[in-house]
A = this chain, B = another copy of it.
Amino acid sequence: MTTNPLLPMGQRARQASYALLALGAAQKNALLGAIADALGEHEAAILAANEQDMALARDAGLSGAMLDRLLLTPERLAAIRADIGTVIALADPVGVDIDSRLLDNGMRLARRRIPLGVLGVIYEARPNVTVDVAVLALKTGNAAIMRGGKETLHSNRALLAAIHSALNAQDLPTDAVQLINSPDRALVTALLNLDSHIDMVIPRGGAGLHQLCKEQARMPVITGGIGICHMYIDRAADLTRALPLVENAKVQRPTVCNALDTLLVHQAVAAELLPQVAARLGPLGVTFKASPGALTLLGTAAEAAGEGDFDTEWLALVLGVKVVADVNEAIDHIRAHSSEHSESVITEDRRVADQFVAAINSAAVYVNASTRFTDGSQFGLGAEVAVSTQKLHARGPMGLEALTTYKWVGTGDYHARG
């Protein structure tokens, strides 16, 4: 068995996590404030490093969308710094007793929130994630080992230098935030095998990255981010009010995971609703992949749905449309095709709404609302670490609490078990 090349990094991160464990909320907030200041002081170096990355990316022929994700500007850096202020203002979940009881034998037993320890984060071309993750990890007393995309190497090094100067200024170990500074893909596997020193892995990227983590990680992984989202419009929906929800869910921001992918329509209202959907969304650029019953009702912007179209997260102005017999068929369709991210039922019929909510176990289930609400800020969490579509630990938008665990603390008077 060969030694994991990241083992020293993991050991240093674990040691650093012990130093973070001793910090109170005020000290952690002071650290976050120091990071925001350091990002300001290092601005010229950060922007210069980012320009190096941008030049390499342009030479490599990256798409405009990729280049835009990579770009840092003075305005974007200012926004990143402002976001740190938002995190500072959030309550610290660490140290809170979730519950506490006095056992029959007189021992007090509490469940106390503690940091997870060391987070592993694998992400792609957005350098803002580097700061984002570091700040959320430190706010909750966790160390982090990060692996950004190779396109962002120079930017990430410059951002890390600023973070390290803040850790130094607060007399804290710089090992609290470490970056895997190599594009070698074998190091991703090494990271996923380092279960002795990394307590949780958060992949922030596409389906391929999530699948890789599921297959290779030996520690818990928060998978998510893939949303094949459905809206079912019942025969008892107020169609006039439903139509703006379809538009909102599909058009407002089509490239994100909570955007609508498939519209399911009760057969009794399809003939009335679908021409209106086509008339309203077609001019906005939406095209439709339609089931046989929906095809003719949607007009020229529609084509017949092919195999796999109902299993696709579009991330674009494309909408699958299917006419269903009733809520039962809608539920069956969603169970067969959903990624369990966000689904919505639109109806005035209380029993249909209740049946839908009871039967659909996606991370977020809505009655008479757009799927677009599945978001940490919309849900009032203050910060969003990731959106989980798995079922353990945290579901849907993950706030600061999702970066903590708990321990049982039993306080006795020389209690022995009887």
- Segment among A78-86, A173-181, A265-273, A368-376 that sits at the interface with chain B: A368-376
Closest residue to A332 on the B side, CB-wise? Answer: B18
| Residue from the list B248, B374, B411 in contact with A416, Cβ < 8 A | B248
Asked if A214 lies at the interface with its beta carbon under 8 angstroms from chain B, I say yes
A220→B116 CA distance, assembly (Å): 16
Whether B117 pairs with A407 at a CB distance below 8 angstroms is no
Whether B373 pairs with A415 at a CB distance below 8 angstroms is yes
Task: Indicate the size class of the contact surface on chain A.
Answer: 35 or more
Whether A414 pairs with B238 at a CB distance below 8 angstroms is yes
Whether B414 pairs with A245 at a CB distance below 8 angstroms is yes
Whether B412 pairs with A368 at a CB distance below 8 angstroms is yes
Instruction: For A406, list chain B residues within 8 Å (CB).
Output: 395
Whether B396 pairs with A408 at a CB distance below 8 angstroms is yes
Whether B410 pairs with A200 at a CB distance below 8 angstroms is no
A7→B391 CA distance, assembly (Å): 20
> How many copies are assembled?
2
Closest residue to A417 on the B side, CB-wise? Answer: B372
A406→B365 CA distance, assembly (Å): 11
Asked if A287 lies at the interface with its beta carbon under 8 angstroms from chain B, I say no
Whether A218 pairs with B215 at a CB distance below 8 angstroms is yes
A107→B369 CA distance, assembly (Å): 8
Whether A361 pairs with B417 at a CB distance below 8 angstroms is no
Instruction: For A75, list chain B residues within 8 Å (CB).
Output: none
Instruction: For A215, list chain B residues within 8 Å (CB).
Output: 218
List A residues 106-151 near B (Cβ within 8 Å): 107, 109, 114-117
| Residue from the list B335, B359, B408 in contact with A395, Cβ < 8 A | B408
Indicate whether A392 sits within 8 Å of B107 (C-beta atoms), given known contacts A357-B409, A367-B412, A417-B370.
no
